[in-house]
Chains A and B, each alone.
Chain A
C-alpha cells in the first residue's frame, strides 16, 4: 500500500475485539450455490438502545439460503455496552432473536416516544422493531405496514421528508432476485458470483409516517418508484442547504441516484445533473456504501462513496450550487482503494484536529478471486485516509496501529465513541466471521465537543437537523443521519474535533422545519445536549453537560 511517512503517528486504532466479550460471528447462509445476496451482506448499527448514555452494538446476520442448513439458526446480535470495553449479548432478552436474512439497518425514534427503534432491511420481509423503553423490542412490522414485501434489501434511512415532525422511512432495494432466476457464473472456469446487472433493477420504497404508529407506502407519489436501480448504501442529508433532507442512493453498477426533496416529501432525481451519478470519466461505479460529511469545512456536505475492484472509492465535493465535482484524484481520497472492493465508509475525525478523515472497509466479494486474479484478494486490510487539512488526504493505514493490520473481508463499518472518552472508535462487520472492534487510542491533546439533540416539536433525536459549531477560526457543520455508510447506522451523537481550540464560541442547531437553537460560549471536551426550543437564538446559555 502506498503511503506517506509522517514524523508523528497521527492516529492509533487498536484491535480490541477479543477483550470485549463479543463472540458474534457473521454467517451469509451460503453453501456453495453463490446466490448474490450472500456476498453483499451486511451492515450494523451503533446506537444507545437502552438510553443509559453509552453506545451499544447491533450486528445483522444472514440465514441459511435455499439448499443450505444450519444446526443452530443464526440470529443477529445486540450487545449492550457495559462500559470499560465490555459488552454483553442481550439479543434474546431484547426480543431481537429473529432468523431473517439481515442486510441493512436504520435506527430512529419513529414513534417519538424517546427511545430508538430499529428497522431491518432484509432479504425477504423487512422488520420494524419498536423499542419498548425497557431494554426490549417488539416486532411491529405488521402494525406499521413496513414489511416491504419479499425483496432484497440494502440500506435504509429514517428521515423527516415532509417536515411534519415524525420520521419517514426510505428503504433501498438491491435488485429483483429469486432462487428461480438465480444466475450462476464462471470466470476463467472458476465459479463466481454473478453481478447485479444480470438481474432486473428494483426501485426503492418510501414510507410516509402517518404519525399514529403506521406508515403508508408513498413510493409512487413521492417519485421514488420511478427510478429502479441497484440500491446499496444510502445516506440522507440536506446537500443543497435548503432546509429539507435529500437522499443519496449508491447504486451498484448503474448510475447513483440523488433524490432532491422539494420540502414536502416529493423527490426529483438529479444525480446526473448534480454530477454524482457517475465518476469523473462518466462511468458507472459498482457503488457500495456512501457517507456524507464536510471534509473541507466549507459549510457544504460532501459525499464519499465506495466501489468495486479496479475503481477508486470516490469523493464528491459539494460545489454549493447544487452540483458536485469528483475530486478523488485531486485530493488523494481514493488512495489504496483500487485493488479492493470497498464497502463501509465514514468521514470521521479520528484525531479531533477539526478535519474529517476517511475510513474505508475492504474485502472482495468473490471468495475465490485469487484463483483468477491475484492482483487482489478476498481478505483485505482496511484503509484510513488522513485529512491533511489542505483539502487532501494521505493513506496512513500502515501507521495506525494493529487495528489496520487485520485482514478479513469487511462489509459494514460504523463509528462512534464507545468508551465515552471523546474520540471515535470503529466497529466493522466482517463477512462470514467475527467483527473487528477498534479502540481509538490516538494521542490526546486535541479538544472536542459532542452534541446530542433532543427534538420536542421535531423528531426526538434531531434526525436531519443541521448543527454548526464555531470555535475561533474553525467552523464545522454536521447533521444527524439515520442510516449511512454501507447499510449501517451510526452517529446519532455528533462528534466535533476542535484541535487546540479550547473554547466553542457557538453551537447552532437548525431543526427540520426551520426552528433554530443557539448555544454560545460552550466549554470543550464534553457532551452537550441541545433541546429544541430550549434556547432563544442569540442569547447566551450554557448547554447541559455530561
Chain B
C-alpha cells in the first residue's frame, strides 16, 4: 500500500532568495579564524554554481543562482550582471526581474523597481509577494491609490498574506481612509495574532477615527508585543553567529543548485548537495524536504524518516511533517507510531481531509494486522 506524500513537500522551486539590507548588522564575537572559514565557504558556494554553469551551459538557472549568491555576499553589481545575462539567455525569467527589482528598491530607485517587478508579473502574474513589494515602491513614490490596487490583487492570489493586509492598512492611512485602514489591520491580526506592527497601525487608525479607548487598547497590545520582540532579539543577539549566517546562505545555494540538478535528472548530485546543505545549516527545511522526497521515491524509507524527524525538531508545529512521519512509519510497518504521528497532524490541522484519510487507512491496516 502506498500513501501519497505529495502534500506539503515542496516541489521544485527556484525561488529568489532575498537578503535584505541589514538595518542592524549581524554580529558575533570576533575571531581571527572566522575570516578564512567564511572565505572558504564563499568559495565553496561559488564553485557549486560554477559547476552548475559548466554542467548546464545552456540553462539560465545557474545565472539566477549566481545572481542570488552575489546578492547574498553584498556584491550587487555582480548580482545585477548575472541576472541581466540570465535575461539575455531567457527573457522569461521572472525571478531574475524580481531580483533586479529588489536591488533597485534597496537603492531607493522606486520607479526602476516598479518597472522590473512589472516585467516579472507580466511573465508570472501569480508570482508571490511581488505585488506587495510593488505596493511599497508605490507608497514610497506617494502613489497609495495604486498601491491599494496592487495589494488587493495580491490578496486575491494569497488570501492569508497578513503582510499584504498590513500594507493595505498603511496605504489607506496614507489616503486618510481610516476606517478602511482599520479593517485591513484587523484582517492582518486575524491571520497573524502576533503581528506587532499591525497593532501600531490599529492604534493610529483608531486615534484618527476618534476611537480613543480602542486606540489605547491597541497601543497597549503593541507595546507588550514590542517588549516581547525585544527580549527575543536580545536572545538572538547573544547567540548570534556570523559564521552561522554565512553557512545558512551557502546552504541555500546548495539547496537551489540541487534543485537544478534534480530537474535535469541528476538525482545523485542533487542528493549530495542537499546533504551538504543540511550539514551546513541545521535549520534548513528546504533541503531536508527535498531529501525526504528523494529517499521516499527511492524506497529509502528509513533515511526519509530520519530526515522527517529532523524536520519535526525544526518546525514542531508543521502538520505536514507529522503526516509524512505517519506515512513513512506505516510503510515501515510501525503502525502505532504512524497513528500517533497522524493524530498529531490532525491536532495541528483538524480540517485537512488528507490527514483524516491517512488515519483511516492506517487504522484499517492495523485492524488487518499490518503487512501480510
B-binding residues in A (CB < 8 A): 1-2, 183-192, 194-195, 197-198, 253, 272-273, 275, 278, 280-283, 286, 308-312, 323, 329-332, 335-339, 366, 371-376, 392
Q: Which residues of A contact B142 (CB under 8 A)?
A: 329-332, 392
Judge whether B73 and A372 touch: CB under 8 Å. yes
Task: Please choose the segment from B6-14, B21-29, B93-101, B328-336 that sits at the chain A interface, where 4 or more of its residues have CB less than 8 A away.
Answer: B21-29
Looking across the interface, which residue of chain B has its beta carbon closest to that of A337?
A: B108
- Chain B interface secondary structure, helix, strand, loop or mixed? helix
Judge whether B106 and A375 touch: CB under 8 Å. yes
Contacts A187-B242, A329-B142, A373-B21; is A278 near B108 (CB within 8 Å)? no
Q: How far is the CB of A67 from chain B (nearest CB, A)?
A: 14
Judge whether B27 and A194 touch: CB under 8 Å. yes
The 6 A-B residue pairs with the shortest CB-CB distance, nearest first, are A282-B200, A189-B38, A185-B27, A184-B30, A338-B108, A282-B197
Identify which of B76, B108, B140 gathers the most chain A CB atoms within 10 Å of its CB: B108
Q: List 19 A-B contacts (CB under 8 A).
A: A2-B108, A2-B110, A2-B111, A184-B29, A184-B30, A188-B74, A189-B38, A189-B243, A192-B27, A197-B233, A197-B237, A275-B204, A282-B196, A309-B23, A310-B20, A312-B140, A330-B174, A339-B107, A371-B74
Looking across the interface, which residue of chain A has its beta carbon closest to that of B24?
A: A195
* Cβ of B297 under 8 Å from chain A: no
Q: How far is the CB of B135 from chain A (nearest CB, A)?
A: 12
Q: Which residues of B contact A281 (CB under 8 A)?
A: 170, 197, 200-201
- A198-B27, A280-B170, A280-B173 known; 18 new pairs, CB 8 Å cut-off, are A184-B29, A187-B22, A187-B242, A188-B245, A189-B35, A189-B243, A192-B25, A197-B237, A275-B204, A281-B200, A282-B197, A282-B200, A310-B20, A373-B74, A373-B76, A374-B77, A375-B21, A375-B74
Judge whether B170 and A188 touch: CB under 8 Å. no
* Cβ of B129 under 8 Å from chain A: no
How many of chain B's residues touch chain A, expressed as a range? 35 or more
Query: How many angstroms from the CA of A275 to the CA of B35 in the assembled complex?
Result: 43
Q: Which residues of A contact B173 (CB under 8 A)?
A: 280
Query: How many angstroms from the CA of A35 to the CA of B105 in the assembled complex?
Result: 32
Query: How many angstroms from the CA of A192 to the CA of B34 in the assembled complex?
Result: 13
Pick the contact of A375 from B28, B107, B170, B233 — CB < 8 Å?
Answer: B107
* Cβ of B207 under 8 Å from chain A: yes
Q: How far is the CB of B78 from chain A (nearest CB, A)?
A: 9
Pick the contact of B246 from A189, A198, A371 — CB < 8 Å?
Answer: A189
Query: How many A-B contacts at CB < 8 Å in the complex?
Result: 127
Judge whether A188 and B23 touch: CB under 8 Å. no
Identify which of A253, A281, A329, A337 gathers the most chain B CB atoms within 10 Å of its CB: A329
Judge whether A336 and B242 touch: CB under 8 Å. no
Q: How far is the CB of A322 from chain B (nearest CB, A)?
A: 11
Judge whether B108 and A339 touch: CB under 8 Å. yes
Q: Which residues of A contact B139 (CB under 8 A)?
A: 329
Pick the contact of A282 from B27, B30, B201 — CB < 8 Å?
Answer: B201
Query: How many angstroms from the CA of A310 to the CA of B136 in the assembled complex?
Result: 13
Pick the contact of A336 from B26, B77, B108, B223 — CB < 8 Å?
Answer: B108
Question: Which B residues, 29 to 76, have Cβ-Cβ distances below 8 Å to chain A?
Answer: 29-31, 34-35, 37-39, 42, 73-76
Judge whether B34 and A186 touch: CB under 8 Å. yes
Judge whether B21 and A189 touch: CB under 8 Å. no
Judge whether B30 and A188 touch: CB under 8 Å. no
Contacts A286-B23, A310-B22; is A374 near B246 (CB within 8 Å)? no
Looking across the interface, which residue of chain A has its beta carbon closest to that of B201?
A: A282
Query: How many angstroms from the CA of A190 to the CA of B233 in the assembled complex?
Result: 22
Question: Which B residues, 187 to 232, have Cβ-Cβ distances below 8 Å to chain A?
Answer: 196-197, 199-201, 204, 207, 219, 222-223, 226
